[in-house]
Amino acid sequence: MFDQGVGGQEGRPERPLADQFEDLLGGRLLAWAGGIATMLGIVFLVGIAVDRGWIDEPLRILFGCLGSTLLVLVGAWLYERKGRTEAALAAAASGLSGLYATLLVGTQVYEVIPAYLGLAGAGLVGAVGVAIAVRWESKIVAAVGILGALSAPALTGAGTSGLSLAFMAVALTTAVGVLLWQRWNWLSLGAFVVSAPQLLAWVFANQDQHLVATLGALIGFWALYLVAAIGYELRARSTEQLPIPSLFLLLANVTLVVAAGYFALDQAGHPGAASAWLLGLAAGHIALGAVALRQAIHAEIGSLLVAVGIGLSALGFADALEGLTLVVGWAMQAALLVYLASRASREPGPLGSPSERFLAGAGLSLGLALGYALIYEAPPEGIAVGVESLGSAVLGLGACAAAALYGRFALDKIDPVIGRVCEAIAALVLLYLGSIAIVDLAGVTESGGTRQIGQALLSVFWTLGGLGAVLYGLLRDVQRFRVGGLALLTLAIAKVYTYDLAALEQLPRVLSFIVLGLLLLVGAFAYQRIHVAAEDEVEEGETEVAQ
């Protein structure tokens, strides 16, 4: 009986479980167990020879190199003569591992091989491993060859010299080319994990003497990691979603380079240059993303690069700016992200659709702007005693309200729920801004307290606002306006009957109660008339339909 069972190829019978187990144990596990056992046997033999004084240190290294090289040659002979077998792969991978181990012992333990020779030898081993891996299309051999070559500076004790960094750059460049050719995404993430700590060690060891070279190296490795993450999709103009390893590599690359460069500049006493570093990388990511979107190379990559760039710009703004300028910058950034979200694709991906990512960034930017404004420019106590600078409060909160209003109209068609949320945020910000403006303009007393007339006018403002929203909701038949207006009227009533009654003097208290009462009566009358008229229209319509 034929199906698409385990193994997945249509038209082939599903193999019995016993046969699959036999293939796994006999064809794979035995081969790899044999390769590892052979390598360990060589190690043990060398250990016996050392204990009995048969060979000295240089001979030990020589025998280790010869034995490991023999394993690689045996693997190559098996593969080329006997076909692709697990025994050939196991022998080659074990031999490459043995060569790296021998170089490590020769440079770090016995110190009979100079560091530069050990580095060159590791490069040669890595090149051989990469060549074998490409010819055989073997991820395991590639992992040993590529990751071993990238680990060579640390394994051979080359330290944080310029030679070790140059070697790692060449090895990484070669590795990136191979990984893109074969599209081995998980291995590219492994290359980052192996090389990134060595890059950081070099940066912090050389930042004081060679700051420009440090930044140049960071930019170079950033470019290599970026190509490793997205190079295949850009080259092939693939319409597929960006693989998860590529996403992780892209975000880890940004984090590494941004943090390393920023702290290097900051510790060197250049805080302005550190901020410029953030904003420069932000601009670079936005530019690359814009090109990818404009040229229709890859929509997801373009949107992700732009989102990363705008996120970096938010950090750069926070580091370089302060006060009102920072609030306005974040609000403008939120509006820009809303615009991008309205134009981006809504096709889902591993990290959500591009539109959803832009919306998340817009929410974060607007939240940062509002949070900063409420802490520094217009704190909540402003409702009681006013604010330090009404102009700054108006501009800061006004920018936040404008960004939210833009989101309301830009997102209404593609995501009405988020559009309504933006509408509510804008209404609350404007209400809060009007409230602190009334209190601030009324002034404070010599003792620092609020003037009584300011609180009375605040009660009137809330009542008028709530009544206006209710009437608008009735006339337009929009329930959210009616509910919001009733909620604000409830808040005004609670304030008048609690705070105003207890804290205000006679004249402001009278003003609060009279205006509240009259407005509520007008509102009740209008509500009943409009509501009854609406019900009569509905009943007439139903009657006409029935007739």
Residue 203 CA to residue 98 CA, distance in Å, equals: 30
Whether the per-residue pLDDT at 85 is higher than 70: the answer is: no
Whether the per-residue pLDDT at 309 is higher than 80: the answer is: yes
Whether the per-residue pLDDT at 299 is higher than 80: the answer is: no
Report in angstroms the alpha-carbon separations of 487 from 481, 498, 532. 10, 17, 22
Selected residue with higher pLDDT from 301 and 57:
301
Could you tell me the pLDDT band of residue 20, with boundaries at 50, 70 and 90? very low
Instruction: Among 100-109, 174-183, 220-229, 423-432, name the most confident range.
Output: 423-432
Arithmetic mean of pLDDT, 23-31 = 48
Report in angstroms the alpha-carbon separations of 430 from 27, 58, 393, 403, 438. 72, 81, 11, 12, 12
Please count the other Cβ atoms lying within 10 Å of the Cβ belonging to residue 529. Answer: 11
Could you tell me the pLDDT band of residue 375, with boundaries at 50, 70 and 90? very high
Residue 470 CA to residue 514 CA, distance in Å, equals: 20
Nearest to 167 by CA among 120, 117, 110, 203: 120
Whether the per-residue pLDDT at 200 is higher than 50: the answer is: yes
pLDDT in tens, 132-149: 877 877 777 777 777 777
Whether the per-residue pLDDT at 517 is higher than 70: the answer is: yes
Whether the per-residue pLDDT at 426 is higher than 90: the answer is: yes
State pTM to two decimals.
0.66
Whether the per-residue pLDDT at 319 is higher than 60: the answer is: yes
Q: Is the dihedral of CA 458, 459, 461, 466 positive or negative?
A: positive
Q: Which helix (H) or strand (E) holds 255?
A: helix 244-267
Taking each helix axis as running N to C, give the angle between helix 211-236 and helix 271-294, from 0 to 180 degrees, rounded to the nearest 10.
Answer: 10
Whether the per-residue pLDDT at 450 is higher than 60: the answer is: no
Residue 352 DSSP SS3: strand
pLDDT in tens, 328-344: 989 998 998 888 888 77
| Amino acid 444: pLDDT | 58
Q: Interior CA angle at 139 toward 137 and 143, to 5°?
A: 130
Q: What is the CA radius of gyration of the chain?
A: 35
Nearest to 458 by CA among 480, 434, 428: 434
| Amino acid 172: pLDDT | 83
Least confident range from 58-62, 327-331, 426-430, 433-437: namely: 58-62
Q: Which helix (H) or strand (E) holds 18?
A: helix 17-23
Selected residue with higher pLDDT from 449 and 529:
529
pLDDT in tens, 479-510: 889 889 889 989 989 988 888 888 888 888 88
pLDDT in tens, 353-363: 778 888 888 99
Residue 366 CA to residue 352 CA, distance in Å, equals: 20
| Amino acid 351: pLDDT | 62
| Amino acid 349: pLDDT | 66
Selected residue with higher pLDDT from 249 and 86:
249
| Amino acid 4: pLDDT | 38
The mean predicted confidence, pLDDT, of the chain is: 78
